[in-house]
Amino acid sequence: MKPKISPEEYRKILESLELENLQLTEINAKFKDQHISSALELSIDEKYTFEQEETELKVFYNYKLIASEQEKEVPAISLQAKYTVKYKIARGITVSKDFMRIFSKLTLGMFLWTYFRELVSNTIYRMGMPPLVLPLKKH
């Protein structure tokens, strides 16, 4: 679905945002040594939700990484991370779903990807595996 927001409206909302805080608020990692093989395939899923309360915008951004063999039900590695990003927002500005579709993909998703890449690399290494360096995100 194509967002229905003008470039001017998008810019107006974007310029009213001021980053206040970024937190890793939840993490869950599992390693199943018996499922490790050279045929592991990676899948990464990203989702977000947001809420606005007057002059605060909270975005909850979730990543889920699965490394598994195609024919196996149980993944060898699973890692889920939830980030909470808080912005101050100018009074009278309402963040729309159309704004968030673009902002989460082009701005916030790119911004948080660097944190997630570092988390994955360090966590995988601590599981006793060679560090996994995820590629740069190209949106």
Output the domain CATH number for residue 118.
3.10.420.10
Per-residue pLDDT tens over the stretch 118-130: 999 999 999 988 8
66: containing domain: 18-126
Q: How many domains does the chain have?
A: 1
The model's pTM: 0.88
Per-residue pLDDT tens over the stretch 93-112: 999 999 999 999 889 999 99
> Which pLDDT band, with edges at 50, 70 and 90, does 37 fall under?
confident
HSE-up of residue 85 (Cα within 13 Å, Cβ side) = 20
Q: Which stretches within the chain are classed as H helix?
A: 7-16, 97-102, 109-126
How far apart, in whole angstroms, are the C-alpha atoms of residue 32 and residue 60? 28
Residue 133 in any domain: the answer is: no
